């Protein structure tokens, strides 16, 4: 899972406004895990050809720090729900994230559960890329945040989160 993207593409163009529907995560998690689940030493995993159920449904993914406790996670969720330009917030537990990862990538047994964090997934209003840049910079500094990434259909640039 590639994490660690923070800044979004600069420019003044607005993102394409879309009505975002909630993802069908529960349905996705009924799919069998990608095979092979375990690979010989020296064989890297690969994408299964499936697409994450979050793609096209959320604009920003906020990955939680492993050290974030329940109070910090709840506080972050409340803060995100009350942040300007955030229209909807979804929570994905670490267990669901790992189950999703197992369905997306082969050789998933080589990846420890601790490497796949819980997250908040955000839908934002119709904002410009520069406004999204500012929003991502604001979110990445919030307590409990490990990394932030934008939806692949409108990706962030590769700016480090610090």
DSSP states of 121-160 as a string?
EEEE-S-BHHHHHHHHHHHHTSTTEEEEEE-TTS-B----
Domain contains 20:
no
CB 89 within 8 A of CB 62: no
Domain contains 7:
no
Q: How confident is the model at residue 5 (pLDDT cuts 50, 70, 90)?
A: very low
Domain contains 21:
no
pLDDT (mean) for 103-130: 93
Residue 139: is its pLDDT beyond 90? Answer: yes
pLDDT (mean) for 137-159: 85
Entry pTM: 0.81
pLDDT (mean) for 94-106: 95
Domain contains 155:
no
Tokens 């406790």 sit on residue: 69
Q: What percent of the chain has pLDDT over 70?
A: 85
Domain count within the chain: 1
Domain contains 146:
yes
């Amino acid at each position: 899972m590639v994490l660690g993207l923070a800044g979004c593409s600069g420019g003044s163009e607005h993102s394409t406004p879309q009505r975002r529907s909630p993802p069908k995560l529960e349905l996705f998690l009924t799919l069998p895990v990608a095979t092979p689940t375990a690979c010989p030493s020296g064989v890297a995993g690969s994408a299964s050809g499936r697409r994450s159920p979050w793609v096209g449904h959320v604009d920003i993914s906020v990955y939680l720090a492993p050290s974030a406790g329940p109070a910090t996670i709840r506080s972050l969720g409340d803060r995100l729900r009350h942040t300007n330009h955030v229209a909807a917030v979804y929570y994905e537990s670490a267990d669901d994230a790992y189950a999703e990862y197992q369905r997306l990538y082969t050789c998933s047994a080589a990846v420890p559960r601790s490497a796949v964090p819980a997250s908040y997934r955000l839908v934002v209003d119709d904002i410009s890329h520069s406004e999204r840049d500012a929003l991502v910079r604001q979110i990445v500094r919030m307590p409990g945040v490990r990394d932030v990434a934008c939806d692949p259909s409108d990706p962030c640039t590769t700016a480090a989160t610090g």
